[in-house]
Amino acid sequence: MEWTKDDFIITTDKDKIDVNYVHWFLTRSYWAEAIPLATVKRSIEGSFCFSVIYLNHQVGFARLITDKATFGYLADVFIDENFRGRGLSKWLIEVIMNHPDVEGLRRLMLATQDAHGLYAQFGFTALTNTDRWMHIHNPDVYKQPKE
């Protein structure tokens, strides 16, 4: 599927993902620093992806890990620094939230360090009943040498 706004396109076509650019951006992010290219490729293969394209160049990305029926986890959402301030983040989240495979999910989750205001506009709130939630978190997994 594709959506157009001015000279920008959001597409779910994985063939249009510039994997090297996504990898480059993620390696510089606070959440995926040093992530290997092979891991990015596998994450794309196993996710429902949205690319923001400007004149045939990738300038944004998001992926949803989902069963497309009950649950989704929104990850790796970004807009290139050179294209921020144009409403692209809001448009990207709007497109994702209105996608037929996302509407009706019982639970949609994400983690963010600094974009709470953006996601709150779409109904995201802080977790409640956190005593029910458990996780395994290995924040330095990409920095550990492979044996």
**Domain map (residue ranges) of the chain:** 2-143
Homologous superfamily (CATH) of 2-143 is: Gcn5-related N-acetyltransferase (GNAT) (3.40.630.30)
Which two structure tokens, joined as six digits, stand for 58?
A: 């990738």
Residue listed under structure tokens 């998001």: 62
Give kind and range of the element (H or E) at residue 14: none
Instruction: List, for residues 92-109, the tens digit of each pLDDT value.
Output: 999 999 999 898 899 999
pLDDT, residue 48, reads 94
Rg (CA), the chain: 15
Which two structure tokens, joined as six digits, stand for 90?
A: 């809001």
pTM of this structure:
0.88
Backbone angles phi, psi at 82, to 5 degrees: -70, -10
Q: Is the pLDDT of residue 91 over 90?
A: yes
Instruction: List, for residues 106-133, the tens digit of each pLDDT value.
Output: 999 998 888 888 888 888 888 888 888 8
Q: Is the pLDDT of residue 147 over 70?
A: no
Q: Which amino acid would we find at residue 136?
A: I
What is the spatial distance between Cα 132 and Cα 41, in angstroms, rounded to a whole number? 32
pLDDT, residue 138, reads 79
Instruction: List, for residues 35-45, the tens digit of each pLDDT value.
Output: 899 999 999 99
Name the β-bridge partners of 147. none
pLDDT, residue 128, reads 87
On whether the CB atoms of residues 75 and 44 are closer than 8 A, the answer is no
When the pLDDT of each residue in the chain is averaged and rounded to a whole number, the result is 91
What is the spatial distance between Cα 102 and Cα 39, in angstroms, rounded to a whole number? 24
Q: Is the pLDDT of residue 25 over 90?
A: yes
